[in-house]
Structure 1
């Protein structure tokens, strides 16, 4: 038997604490949305900067529409404000590539709509008792909407990275850290542990339920793979050597002439990268960023290693060998603080590898939360006992071999949408996301 997972968020079940947490989470998300949609002019808001992304103005109104659907109509029982726009902002009805051709709300109207919805949603929150239904229990619907907005804020930040033109966003760099000289890898003991959660009140459906999972002993990188290490792969002909690549990955990089991480270019003997409108030398000690699953997998093969499975990643992040419990986060059960991880767009880049020692796991693995999303070897599949809630389109429709799991969050992820159990997923060719990786190996290799 595995030990049970640990308790719930620090808000507990006290109604006023839940109300304060929901209010703070919604306010933080809206402040970030406002920053991301007021730092550029209307032409940049309405343009599609990549066929992979929506116009920023679509995200803005979509955020408001989802809040109206779930907080005003579903929780509050209120009449619809703008029922005629529901279809325009249904992500499953209109793929991103066609959204610029839709009769979208102009920026000023989108802002007014989102603000009106928010004002009414706060009235619903003020009257909420957080009991009576699964949707309202422990403030779940409010947490779901705060997470949804923060996920779109991360998407909008990706759009800003793809946008051409001068910088529109600024943030201080992470604190410099001494060059990491600790062990390159950590042994994670074999045996059972509790994966997923049944206790975390704002956890989403694909994180549930908690269940026992068995893993064999394995070694995992202490920190994510750095730019310097990845450059060694490039310089050794990694992109020109077919044997390192999965067949689909080799076909993809040949077809699209991929020869380095996205936004990198060679300038003589130097590698440069574009970052939010500026060009800089690639920092050697930062975790590599903007690589797809196929690139991560090829690097791991070249290094004589492999990507960790999702279960291995979560055991490395949550398992405490002293107590046998699965923690909420690598550092324990407390909500993230600034010293634990690089989260919340406080910075616009990863911290150097080896940073945030206060956030390391009981086994000594660092930066498992924040900095870069980490590709795993696993397909995105449901846990045993999975039940879609509150709608199939959040997770269930994506299950299968077409999507790979990413874990841990990035510098672009807000703490409300990042936990030791949080699961992200994407196509194995995606590179515009803030993705990196770390490698693993079986104990007997």
Structure 2
């Protein structure tokens, strides 16, 4: 017999948790109508029960003791929006082992431990929902699990970090330095006080590990994903990129190859007519290619309290419906351990080099020799700005596709040539 109501335990009452709690407490009738069952917020785990919060939650609901949620048999669903690896991973594992369903927005836990948690949930006949862990308000997980499940996914390419997309956009449109663009993003509420996870590509790496694991049904860990942040990009690169017909984006990309997949996160020059080049502000976009459906583009707000809470509560409604019906609502994933991730050095890609050199004869020949010896074919070589007093010039070189290891060797060797002052910038071309 189906229960008449479901009790929810909530971990975290910050930006996202506050929105989730507010929706559960103020939208009870609407949620019950949509889920077909009443959802009751029974307990909320916080660090400090005395802290003043914008969303008033009754004091009797608050606790600083995780055992009051994890060991309460009356709580059927644990919602976790606090973030971070430990102790959240342990909390979720304990909840699943005790027969509780889980809804989480935790990208770190799902990227590092997701396959094991999903396997454990299947053993315990409970569900793990994690829509909010990847795309915020963009329905990515549900799309892969339902709408695209008949497809062999060939590739997934994404602009999946709103902070870096905003920062790169301001560098491109206003000519801001990276530091100034980050400060502006922080003032606008798009960047954390410590933006390292975003600027360094860590956030996108966690999300790509989750997406890739689901798309290819293999275990991709964050350490399997090649990661490079946007720290080395300068305003002049945006000018040169546009002249060449590109925008600069932080791209998260996976692609299927025979027996293996590639998985990488790095800044890239994206053709201006590609849909990902047109993603503006703090928005996210995911570009999927399946063998039956063809190309699919999903765009929306990928972060922030309200979009993320929307995904969390949406998962909660979906889960409540399945519990009411007495079924597991979503198919569990099987993971193929025979498929691995290609080392970045073997991935073939085009590249852009910006090189500061002495403005004299013989420089082009020296560069050409290095590229040739490393098996890299030059697509174009253009002299851009020149500094007469210093007798130096800036060269922009683009290449044809080559193994990334060859491009890196060429980059290192060119930097040591006597007429070369610096390889000022290196970007892969998407």
Q: Which structure's relative contact order is higher, taking Cα pairs within 8 Å and 6+ residues apart? A: 1
Structure possessing the higher radius of gyration over alpha carbons: 2
Task: Give the TM-score band, short-chain normalised.
Answer: under 0.3
Q: Report the TM-score when normalising by structure 2.
A: 0.25
Q: Normalising to structure 1: TM-score of the pair?
A: 0.24
Task: Tell me which protein shows more strand as a share of its residues.
Answer: 2
